[in-house]
Amino acid sequence: MKALIEFIAKSLVDDPTQVKVMEYTQRRNVRITLSVADEDMGRVIGRKGRVANAMRTLLRVAASRRGDRVSLDIL
């Protein structure tokens, strides 16, 4: 799941070297944090949060196949 978010984020931003993804796991709960450059924050969030919500939806689908729960925080 970490690789999925990293791939999507690097595809969206102007400076892919600034993309940092961390994954924290506690039992069946997975928390993913995404950090990008300040200039690229708007691209990752999207208008009215549409891009961020789409990434969260993809994560939920991937997590449900594994039986996990996932959350995405964009910092």
DSSP β-bridge partners for residue 35: 20
Residue 43 · residue 12 · CB < 8 Å? yes
Q: Print the domain residue range for 15.
A: 2-74
Exposure of 1 in the CB half-sphere (CA atoms within 13 A) = 28
Q: What is the C-alpha to C-alpha distance for residues 31 and 46, in angstroms, rounded to an integer?
A: 21
- Please count the structural domains in the chain: 1
- Other Cβ atoms closer than 10 A to 58: 16
DSSP β-bridge partners for residue 70: 30
What pLDDT is attached to residue 42?
A: 94
Task: Work out the pLDDT band at 56, boundaries 50, 70, 90.
Answer: very high
What pLDDT is attached to residue 44?
A: 95
The amino acid occupying position 59 is L
Average pLDDT, integer, range 15-41: 94
For position 24, which CATH number holds? Answer: 3.30.300.20
Model confidence pLDDT, tens digit, residues 62-71: 999 989 999 9
The model carries a pTM of 0.88
